[in-house]
Amino acid sequence: MDTTVTIAGQTFDHCLMNAAGVMCMSEEELTQVAQSSATTFVTKTATLEARNGNQEPRYFDFAANSINSMGLPNYGLAYYLDFLASEPEELQSRRFLSIAPLQPDELPILLRCISVANFRGFVELNLSCPNVPGKPQIGYDFEQTNRLLATAFSLYDAPLGVKLPPYFDMVHFDCMAEILNRYPLAFINSINSIGNGIVLNGNQMAIHPKNGFGGIGGAVIKATALANVHAFYQRLHPSIKIIGTGGVTCGRDVYEHILCGAHLVQVGTALHQEGVGIFQRLQQELHTEMKLNNVHSFDALRGKVMYI
């Protein structure tokens, strides 16, 4: 069975990795993921300077789901570049470094720092954090997205992709895809959490920031994640690969992400709840699902969802 995946000339032995924000804050967490059955990892979304994030409680599990308003806590870009620099070049070339400019004029500085550090892997530009008070999700501002991508590709020529928020309107898929197709993106990552939900814990909000509003993740968002993966699979140039994120709790969920068009598949809430052992379980369940459906490679499965 061929489970290899190739993005921008880099080959991964299978498709499973962590989602940014889970098991990726510290060197210790990243090392745990690196030593697990995951094919690679993505770092915590890094800003220019370290951030404490929002006031706790800012994360809450409910069943196989979660709500969070973390507020981009991270140790700063230099911390993650130093950790990545400690890895052998062969491994580093398959790692994902997530970044977020809090202001548009920070993007050139972030990319310059990455270039100076000679990072050889993938950069993921996060356009979709819904949980920083006073900061809109860039991915819902199409003109701003276009400006940022124009800036990025005028300054940076190594593999770069974007993390997108969920979209809910066909016109928005069309508009965003038209913008993305203008640029030599290596990948898109779809979706981030569904922004500004509310979960109650008894008679009170489950989290503190933003008076209880936070991003929803976990099993409940799978339908929206699959819709976004497939909508962009239909619209994007084939050279732009898709990382599917959202709702993965079992091997069948991974199978469905690939069936809808994903190359890599990220695990967030379920990884937080189960730990890094989930990668081996998901791999085994995915192989079982592929055998049941007489599918022998990811390439034979990808995007082949049938319409009725």
In this structure, what token pair is assigned to residue 159? 């593999």
Coil, strand or helix at 251? helix
Distances (CA, A) of 10 to 192, 269, 308: 24, 27, 35
Whether 38 and 18 have beta carbons less than 8 Å apart is answered as: yes
Given the residues 15, 129, 175, 260, select the one marked as catalytic.
Answer: 129
* Cα 288-292-298 angle, rounded to 5 deg: 70
In this structure, what token pair is assigned to residue 248? 């993965």
Distances (CA, A) of 158 to 90, 123, 185, 186, 239: 15, 8, 10, 9, 15
Long-range own/partner contacts, residues 222-226 (CB < 8 A, 24 or more apart): 222/246, 222/247, 222/248, 222/253, 222/256, 223/247, 224/166, 224/168, 224/191, 224/194, 225/166, 225/190, 225/191, 225/257, 226/256, 226/257, 226/260
Instruction: Name which of 153, 149, 152, 91 is nearest 120 in CA terms.
Output: 91
* Measured distance CA(100)–CA(278) in Å, rounded: 28
* Beta strands 264-267; 16-18: pairing state: parallel
129 is catalytic: yes
* Catalytic machinery residues: 129
